Amino acid sequence: MCMRYIAYWGGKNHIVFIGDSRLRHIYYKLVDTVRTKEEKEDESAHKDLHFSDPDLRWNLDFLWHPMVNSSMYEVFEKWLHEEPKKRPKVIIVGSGTWSIKVFNGSMEAVENYRTNMTRLMPYLDQIGKRSKVLWMLQEPVNEDKLSPNRKMITNDQIELYNSIATEVLQYSNVQMWSSARMISLGVINEMEDGLHAGNVALNYDVQILLNMYCNDHMNYNDGTCCSSPESVTTLQIITFSAFGVCVILAIAMVLHRKCKARQIQKLGMLDGTSTRKSQDPNQNSYYELVTSLARLGLIMAYFYLCDRTNFHCFEVVMKRYIQNPPLW
């Protein structure tokens, strides 16, 4: 339904996976989920794959680049030279286990990975300004089920590679996809070969991807916890800046009044005279105006946060509250 909705309004559905066989398994599962008719899958290893559906304006690609190297740089460099409208809407990238296997888990490979990730980061950062780029953290492996030629792929090595990717990309426009790692950790015994995620984990991974992709376009009633937050408008910035000034002035005026009242009270106790003194009407009117605007600003800020269901996923609770208000 999401793809049809986007296609109906002239949009395109283009998702690209870049990585090794682990991402290829997610690609296959996503194709099985979205395609409307049975087709024979091309299960050839170590090659690029493509799936399209003209009715849904749907293009799904898998690009075989198991290691972060010059071939992966060229892919992103090519996209940077294209118009933003021609780039994929979502790009999922992941790499690590292939480097561990090829270089037999050496520390030199770890340093090369750090260097290559640092070089790749500017490309990902630039693409991430217009497209959604996800870096998939490497999932844990079931070391007991690994074949002898994969025994060098340990969870300690995977954690080391994940920490490097997180460190390099933490201040970029790339979003770290860590939930897939947690899902695989919970069903690690379902890995048949010890390396690739089982069917349960793949189903969850695909559901997460579709939620992330569709929630920005569909008006669901159960919250929008996985959708992107709406951008703040210039009018909102100006309004809240004005109310912010009023709040600061109101706090300053309240503190000033309290300090002044205490000083007058002390003087009155020393002189033995009454401390009651008539207030300037103009001063009172300014005080009431500023404090009233400050209260209004706080109320508007509260409703603004309530409306941002990306921050607080209680849309359903608010609707129930409105439909069944308390009797008070």
13 and 3 Cβ atoms separated by less than 8 Å: yes
Spatial CB neighbours of 137, under 8 Å, sequence gap ≥ 6: 94, 162, 165, 166, 176, 177, 178, 180, 181
Specify the pairing of strand 58-64 against strand 175-177. Answer: unpaired
Choose the catalytic residue: 95, 196, 205, 227: 196
Note if 53 is an active site residue: no
Assess whether 227 carries a catalytic annotation. no
193 belongs to the catalytic site:
yes
Pair of tokens at residue 286: 């300014």
Catalytic residue among 21, 61, 106, 217: 21
- The catalytic position among 42, 48, 193, 307 is 193
- Largest distance between two CA atoms of the chain: 99
How far, in Å, CA of 26 to CA of 210, rounded? 12
Report the C-alpha gap between 314 and 92 in whole angstroms.
29
Measured CA to CA, the distance from residue 2 to residue 170 in angstroms comes to 30
DSSP 194: S
Catalytic positions: 21, 193, 196
